[in-house]
A and B are shown apart, each in its own frame.
Chain A
Amino acid sequence: MTARALGLRTWLLQRLSALYMAVYTVIALFWLYLSGPIDFVAWQELLAHPLINIFTQLFIYSLLAHAWIGVKDIFIDYVPNTRLRFVLFITISLLQIILAFWTFMAFYGVVRL
Chain B
Amino acid sequence: MNNKSRPKHLNLFKVRLPISGIASILHRLSGLLLFLATPLMLYILTISFKNNSGFEQAKLYLDSMWVKFIILILIWSAMHHFLAGLRYLVIDMDVGLSKNSANLSALLVSVLALVLSIIIIIGVL
Contact = CB atoms under 8 A, between A and B. Distances in A.
A93 B56 CA distance: 32
Interface string A2-34: 010000000000010011001001000000000
Contact of B86 (A22, A70, A103): A22
Contacts of A95: 39
B49 interface: yes
Most B-side CB within 10 Å, residue of A40, A99, A103: A40
Nearest to B48: A43
A110 B85 CA distance: 32
A106 B46 contact: yes
A63 B92 CA distance: 20
Interface in A61-89: 63-64, 67, 70-71, 74, 76-80
Interface string A43-69: 110010000000000001001100100
B10 A40 contact: no
B96 interface: no
Contact of A77 (B8, B52, B55, B56): B8
Given A22-B86, A70-B32, A78-B10, 14 more contacts: A15-B92, A18-B85, A40-B52, A43-B48, A43-B55, A44-B55, A47-B49, A64-B38, A67-B31, A71-B31, A71-B32, A78-B12, A80-B9, A106-B46
